[in-house]
Amino acid sequence: MNEGAATSAREEILSRIRTALGDRPSPAPVARDYRVAGSVPADVEQFVDRLVDYRATVHRCGSDEPALRLKEILDARGVPRLVVPDGFPPAWLPAASLVTEPVSTETLDEVGAVLTTCALAVAETGTIVLDAGPGQGPRALTLVPDYHLCVVRADQVRAIVPDAVAELDPRAPLTWISGPSATSDIELRRVEGVHGPRTLDVLIVG
């Protein structure tokens, strides 16, 4: 079908729709009072609540405790070795066997655990957003390993998605994480670890 024929067919269809709807009342005006960036205060407790809903495990610590707390979390999980992306804060590095970038997919699969920071988080949806910035690494780092330990500063928590969208660079490779990877596509039976880590630990600092 050439372009002129396609346009003609489209106009014909729209014309018939207009004719069919011609005697209908006009639709009521739609309220556009959507929440926008900055309209809601961020609530860290709500973020924690949503993370728990999504079956993530939440830990908290003070600003001078991340390295020690991360070590405790890794020991409790029995994780002796993990991948750490470039730019992860040196003062937060736990006493563990660390694998640094660059790493192959085979190495990610072999190590099976990764420690990252994040760009920001959304309280209302319990979502962590990574944008491949310092301490986050390329997207494969948080998709291939079966265990993801993510550090979120309390001041990185935003209230709602519009707050996050307003701050994030849409050109960056954004990864939005809401709990461990899971799907219920088949017979509504939840299966975890299909598209990413089965286990997500989140350490909130501050």
Supply the pLDDT for residue 1. 57
Rounded distance, CA 142 to CA 159, Å?
A: 24
122: helix, strand or coil: strand
Supply the pLDDT for residue 134. 96
Q: Sorting pLDDT into bands at 50, 70 and 90, what band is 2?
A: low
pTM of the model: 0.84
Q: What is the pLDDT of residues 18-76, one digit of tens each?
A: 898 888 888 889 998 899 999 999 999 999 999 999 999 999 999 999 999 999 999 99
Neighbour tally for 67: CB within 10 Å: 17
CA distances from 33 to 20, 160, 182 (A): 31, 15, 33
Q: What is the pLDDT of residues 43-58, one digit of tens each?
A: 999 999 999 999 999 9
Q: What is the pLDDT of residues 113-135, one digit of tens each?
A: 999 999 999 999 999 999 999 99
User: 42: which DSSP letter?
Assistant: -
Question: Contact 94/149 with Cβ under 8 angstroms?
Answer: no
Mean pLDDT of 173-192: 87
